[in-house]
Amino acid sequence: MTKDPATPDGAAFVRDMLGQWESIAQEFGSSLLKTGEFARTVNNATAASVKARGVGSEVVSEVLAAAAMPSRADVARLTERIDAVDARLARIEALLESLAGKPKKAKKAKG
């Protein structure tokens, strides 16, 4: 089955349109990226995002404090303290086991 040359190729039309769109978008993007205003805008947007996250963290911490619930930082500090106590307890247990393993000196009874 051969194609009739009078019938337009729809896929070729779409490919051509996509190619033109890509070249236009590339030209626009490259000219946009070259401007200092774009760099300033991106920088300002990044700074605003960082500031918003900081404010959000502060608000969440205040809400948790008002509800008498620990914040993430509070839980981290408590975890560190518990780990330190656990390590200290392990050393005490090891010391007690080593002392319990040694025979005690028998005291002489007076008689």
Same domain, 58 and 78: no
Cα separation of 80 and 96, whole Å?
Answer: 24
Record the pTM. 0.40
Same domain, 29 and 51: yes
59 part of a folded domain:
yes
Same domain, 64 and 26: yes
In sequence order, which ranges of 1-111 are alpha helices (DSSP H)? 10-33, 36-66, 72-101
8 part of a folded domain:
no
> Is the confidence at residue 111, as pLDDT, over 60?
no
CB 70 within 8 A of CB 64: yes
Domain extent at residue 78 = 70-102
Same domain, 41 and 56: yes
> Is the confidence at residue 28, as pLDDT, over 60?
yes
Across the range 54-66, mean pLDDT stands at: 87
Same domain, 40 and 76: no
pLDDT (0 to 100) of residue 13: 87
Total domains, the chain: 2
60: CB partners within 8 A, 6+ apart: 71
Q: Is 71 exposed, middle or buried (0-12, 13-18, 19+ CB in 10 A)?
A: middle
Same domain, 63 and 75: no
12 part of a folded domain:
no
The residue among 55, 86, 58 whose CA lies nearest residue 72 is 58
Same domain, 32 and 45: yes
